Chain A
Amino acid sequence: QPVLTQSSSASASLGSSVKLTCTLSSGHSSYIIAWHQQQPGKAPRYLMKLEGSGSYNKGSGVPDRFSGSSSGADRYLTISNLQSEDEADYYCETWDSNTRVFGGGTKLTVL
């Protein structure tokens, strides 16, 4: 089954941009993933579906500041013009025929 690897933490300044990475395990580099955001004390929220081609589809109400891209086994979430409300945990997700997998999550701090 696929494994997703994320850095445990990231930080960036208010108004700047940050790029979070989710890496698919060997043999799974073509898999589609999804990105989810979890603000402190809240349920997760779906952000976008991201394909290996770099094509992405965002969920309803997700700001234009959020975008996705891909390179090989790496899937990226870029947040531009960082706002204080973007401080959150970000998880990537993928699935196989009989399972679904989450990355360990990246805690984003907005300085």
Chain B
Amino acid sequence: QVQLVESGGGLVKPGGSLRLSCAASGFTFSDYYMSWIRQAPGKGLEWVSYISSSGSTIYYADSVKGRFTISRDNAKNSLYLQMNSLRAEDTAVYYCARCQGYVSYWGQGTLVTVSS
């Protein structure tokens, strides 16, 4: 069965950096676009970034453009999100998601807290 397992979340100070990982299994990872989506405490879902199956096409939400970098390693069935210059408003649960246009599978999420 499809599994997406995020890791790398934690507490970081404003201005700091963090790298999230997502380990995929149960499907042919290299066939699918992948996304990162976040949810601030008590708030709705916010798309962050997506990457094409080959990694050649990448888009970001305006709120993270220039600070976050999405990447993937198809040989390792893994998706990554490098987050730099973190702000308090980046505090959220970050979900890895498999995309078929729409999101068809979600990971369980990893919590990122940006606080001094």
Q: Is A66 an interface residue (CB 8 A)?
A: no
A contact residues around B107 at 8 Å (CB)? 43
Whether A43 pairs with B109 at a CB distance below 8 angstroms is yes
Whether A102 pairs with B109 at a CB distance below 8 angstroms is no
Residues 53-109 (chain B) with a chain A CB within 8 angstroms: 59, 61, 95, 99, 101-109
B contact residues around A100 at 8 Å (CB)? 35, 47, 50, 99, 103
Interface size class of A (residues with CB under 8 A): 20 to 34
With contacts A34-B102, A46-B104 taken as known, whether A91 is within 8 angstroms of B45 at the C-beta atoms is: yes
Give the CA-CA distance A44 to B95 in the complex, in Å: 9
Give the CA-CA distance A104 to B45 in the complex, in Å: 8
Give the CA-CA distance A99 to B49 in the complex, in Å: 8
Whether B47 pairs with A102 at a CB distance below 8 angstroms is yes
Give the CA-CA distance A100 to B95 in the complex, in Å: 14
Chain B's nearest CB lies how many Å from the CB of A49? 6
Q: Is A105 an interface residue (CB 8 A)?
A: yes
B residues with CB within 8 A of A:
35, 37, 44-47, 50, 59, 61, 95, 99, 101-109
Besides A49-B102, A102-B47, 15 other A-B contacts (C-beta < 8 A): A34-B103, A34-B104, A43-B95, A44-B45, A44-B103, A46-B104, A95-B102, A99-B59, A99-B61, A100-B35, A100-B99, A102-B37, A103-B44, A105-B44, A105-B45
In the A-B complex, the 9 residue pairs with the smallest Cβ-Cβ separation, listed nearest first, are A34-B102, A102-B45, A100-B47, A98-B59, A105-B44, A43-B108, A43-B106, A44-B106, A104-B44
